[in-house]
Amino acid sequence: MNIHRATLLAMSRALGGIYPAPELLLVDGLFVPDCPVPARAIVRGDQKNHAIMAASILAKTERDLWMIAYSELESRYGFEIHKGYPTRMHRMRLKRYGLSPIHRRSFKISFPE
């Protein structure tokens, strides 16, 4: 499954766990998931809509905390420093240690010289 389909599926599943159901789903992007509530896609929504802006900040903050926690289990990669973004340090560690269990296998990695 590609990242696009996985994202839409995750949104659809998340909606199933929200009570009460939202009145409207706003999605940053071009597509909305299959869902039982009205939904609207907003291209560059994280730059145009305050609710999407806030959700984007919360999601990034949560992801960064998850990466810091994972770095305690797998310290070789330095996730607590770069949070998994493709910095030079991250790419150098990937070159040295290979992929960890949480790395996506579908992304092309360019290694620094």
pLDDT value of residue 1: 81
Question: What is d(CA 112, CA 33) in angstroms, rounded to the nearest whole number?
Answer: 37
pLDDT value of residue 112: 81
CA atoms within 13 A on the CB side of 11: 24
Under-50 pLDDT residues of the chain: none
Residue 82 makes CB contacts below 8 A (sequence gap 6+) with 89, 90
pLDDT value of residue 101: 92
In the chain, where the domains are located:
1-43, 61-113
pTM for this predicted structure: 0.77
pLDDT value of residue 32: 96
pLDDT value of residue 106: 81
pLDDT value of residue 30: 96
pLDDT value of residue 105: 84
Question: What is d(CA 66, CA 96) in angstroms, rounded to the nearest whole number?
Answer: 23
Residue 20 makes CB contacts below 8 A (sequence gap 6+) with none
